Every structure is written in C-alpha cells, then in structure tokens.
Amino acid sequence: MGVEGIGDYAETLIRVKARKLARTAASPEVSWEDFAQDMRLDLWHRLSKFDPGKAKFETFVARVVEHKVASIIEARQASCRDYRRCRSSLNDPLKAPDGEPDERGDMIDQDATCLRTGGASRPADERVDLGEDIRTVLAGLPPELCGLCRRLMKRTPTEVERETGIPRGTLYESIQKLRHRFEKARLKEYL
C-alpha cells in the first residue's frame, strides 16, 4: 500500500494529476501538494463506495480522481472566484475625490453595490446616472410590470412566483417584456 493506505497506483495518479493541475490552474497560491491532499481526502471518503463487482479498483480510483479534478477546475473558474474578472488591484493608486492620492481599497464605499455585470462597484456619478435611468424606465412601465421589476430587484423569479402566485410561464413572459423595455432604454448591460 502507498501513502495513507490508498495504494501505490492511487498515489501515483494523484501526484501526476495534482502536478498537472497546479501547472495549468495558474494559481501560485496553491501548490500541487494542496491539490493532491484534496484528491486524497476525496478518494478516502469515497473508498467505502467501491464495489469490486462493478469495476476494478484502479478504474474506481481513476474516476474518483478525475471527477475531483473536474470539480476543482469548475470551482476555480466560477465567476465569483475568477481572477480575470477584475483587472485591478485594491492597492492601485487612485486620486481620491478630494484630489489626494489614495489606494483603491481605501476608497471603497461601504454602501456601494456590486453590479452583476462588472464585479467592481461603479463610480458614484455613474451610479447616480444609472439610478436616474432606471427610475425613468420604471416610470414608463405599467403598474404590474413596475411592481414585478421592484420585486425582482430584491428576489429571484422563483421567490416572486411563490410570493405572488403568478404562474411561471406568465412570470417569464413579463420578465421578457421588462428585458425588452430595459434594452430599448440601452440598459441591457444592467440586466
């Protein structure tokens, strides 16, 4: 048996996969040993599910390790963790509103909202303009679409469906109408 009782084949496979993942994941903060440890732990937890009547041990190990690699890649590429989304650092020097140099991180507004489209909050003047544009669109909506839009600002469509009792098909037709209105007002990027 190899390291931690999982076998030489398993340990060799994990080491190879972890090193390849560390090279391709472009993540200097995570070493191949960290990836290997995650794979070992996952395999260790799943060993009780091994059935020699269904597959050879090596096949079972290969599938478990491959699935773990895929889940690591998927988690690292999730948009909320994707390092490519924001091309700036919180340590970047910026000019504060008073004209003095400051770092981006020191200028983050506590009540700033992070819009889905950009990942980083927008400047205050742009948020004011956006608010005015949204109010203009809302003012031109029929009352039922305006109410739906306000609900969707705070809830998911499923929550709105449960809360209002509106059938799913009707709800999504209304959402399409809202989308059309916002796109017509050139606010598509904020949807």
Whole-number average pLDDT of the chain: 77
Q: Is the dihedral of CA 179, 182, 187, 191 positive or negative?
A: negative
> pLDDT for 143-164, tens place per residue?
888 888 888 888 888 888 888 8
Q: What is the pLDDT at residue 110? A: 40
Q: What is the pLDDT at residue 13? A: 93
CA distance 111 to 166: 33
Residue 59 has pLDDT above 80, yes or no: yes
For residues 93 and 161, which has the higher predicted lDDT (pLDDT)?
A: 161
CA distance 64 to 7: 14
Residue 103 has pLDDT above 50, yes or no: yes
For residues 106 and 50, which has the higher predicted lDDT (pLDDT)?
A: 50
> pLDDT for 108-147, tens place per residue?
544 344 433 343 456 667 777 777 888 888 888 888 888 8
Residue 14 has pLDDT above 50, yes or no: yes
5-27 as b/e: b if 16+ CB within 10 A: ebbeebbebbbebbeebbeebee
The Cα angle at residue 33 between residues 32 and 36, in degrees rounded to 5: 85
What is the phi/psi pair of residue 103, to 5°? Answer: -90, 150
Residue 3 has pLDDT above 90, yes or no: no
Sorted by where each begins, the domain ranges of the chain are 3-77, 110-190
Residues 6+ away with beta carbon under 8 Å from 87: none
Of 83-87, 166-170, 172-176, least confident by mean pLDDT is 83-87
CA distance 143 to 191: 20
Q: What is the pLDDT at residue 155? A: 83
Whole-model pTM over 0.75: no
3 state DSSP class of 121: coil
Dihedral (C-alpha) 165, 167, 173, 174: value to the nearest 10 degrees? Answer: -10
